């Protein structure tokens, strides 16, 4: 693992944490987050809607 990969991973984790803290995502049924998992269109639409509502 090189420095660029570490920086990328940290940035992604910061983004996931920000999204969870701001209510955009809540995780799986047990509260865990799986950033490498797949999302349905409905889940992505809900995240986008929450993001837009959060910015207003």
pTM for the structure as a whole: 0.65
Q: Is the dihedral of CA 34, 37, 39, 44 positive or negative?
A: positive
Query: Alpha helix (H) ranges present in 1-56?
Result: 3-21, 41-55
Q: Give the separation between CA 52 and CA 30, rounded to whole angstroms.
A: 26
Q: Residue ranges of the domains in the chain? A: 3-55
pLDDT digits (tens, 9 = 90+) for 8-56: 777 888 888 888 888 888 878 887 877 777 888 998 899 889 988 887 6
The residue with greater pLDDT, 29 or 1, is 29
């Amino acid at each position: 693992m090189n420095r660029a990969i570490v920086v990328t991973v940290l940035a992604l984790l910061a983004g996931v944490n920000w999204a969870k803290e701001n209510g955009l995502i809540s995780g799986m049924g047990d509260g865990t987050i799986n950033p490498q998992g797949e999302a349905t269109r409905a889940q992505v639409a809900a995240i986008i809607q929450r993001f837009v509502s959060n910015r207003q």
